[in-house]
A and B are shown apart, each in its own frame.
Chain A
Amino acid sequence: MRRPLRRSVELRLDVADRIDHMPGQHYVVRLTAEDGYTAQRSYSVASAPGDPLVELFVERLDDGEVSTYLADVVEPGDELEVRGPIGGWFVWDGETPALLVAGGFGVVPFIAMIRHARDLGRLDLLRVAVSSRTLAELPYAEELVDAGALVVLTREARGIRTAGRLTAPDLVPLWEPGQTAYVCGSSSFAEAASQLLVGMGYPAADVRVERFGPSGTPA
């Protein structure tokens, strides 16, 4: 367990009889109270299939029932009931070019893709664009920068770039023939980013979207 960022926790799980996941898949964590009450949530896997452990990155939501437990109560050595890997759509095969567009905690499934690409020696297949409020709030920021990701910050300047949202001119140079685009982030981010791609002329059929969190206004 690590807490690399405020309000989050990185869990590395030793899963018995594990089936290799595809980058982009998720695991369900299920908690059971003494009285039999259960709560479960899904979390994207951040680790590569070749990693002996399954890494989950959990954002702690103040009113969350499972994330607060995972962030505040779990200790190394605890046993958790998990189910996975799950999902057959938002996955990358490790062989075809992909454009990854993430907002904030939406980077987690892309970390699995980047790590897998690195294991295969095929980082050239991935183009990555990430938006975050600040660099300090971006999970795996260093790893993303190392992988050559375009990092756009909405609340602080970065280099010669002033604070601002991801734009079409940011994404156009990352567009390559035969790519599948993967968009992951909060509902409002995913909506805005996928519309940006479609607006550029990116074929809607080549865009896969994963959204999470409340439908509320953009952060």
Chain B
Amino acid sequence: MEGKVRIGFYALTSCYGCQLQLAMMDEILQLLPHAEIVCWFMLERDSYEDEPVDIAFIEGSVSTEEEVELVKKIRENAKIVVAVGSCAVHGGVQSWEKDKSLEELWKTVYGDGKVKFEPKMAEPVENYIKVDYRIYGCPPEKKDFLYALGTFLVGSWPEDIDYPVCVECRLNGHPCILIEKGEPCLGPITRAGCDARCPGFGVACIGCRGAIGYDVAWFDSLAKTFKEKGLTKEEILQRMKMFNAHNPKLEEMVEKIFQGVEE
């Protein structure tokens, strides 16, 4: 790209972790000479939500009517729209109870209280606008940002990883938590790129980078193992829904995992 790249970082409903991750990268200082920050409320007081940008990074899930309007406006103003993190890409952990009604959730937390803004059930950005690229993770790894930014800056296009966390886990030689401890590790179906961070600490993967395409073989081996470990269908569904509740094929795939299994 020629001249300074105009960048906007926009937040919907989120924990602000994806932008914090980006803000905490010392490497961002090297980016400065090449970029102009048009909008980034977390750092910049002179931020403008409705100015044209080359790259729009969007963090968070669409969770209010106001945010629906905001994402549309961002799309109109941006050449490239990047959904950043599990909230923007998959609807985030706030989508875990997607099947309950908004009214029910509202009542549990706010009782009869009313506010003057319009809440919505959390949804991925892609449900409202076209997204050009996704950065996965909750939060994404720093290198995910470096790779995406670096690639965009040289005028090229970053690629998705299409193998699961297990691959990185095996390459690192970590003991397998699923096999050895019987814990429900989601590594087999989760998109790699974190270098098997959690299994490296002896903790099962909770799938924070979201599932890779469902039509790959990893699902079957997980199916077999989960079955052997005695997990129920409901338990598996709940665990997979933490970061994947909006995946339209989830129920179908879990059903497939349990084909022929009596519960």
Q: Do A and B come from one complex?
A: no
Q: Which residues of A contact B (CB under 8 A)?
A: none
Q: Which residues of B contact A (CB under 8 A)?
A: none
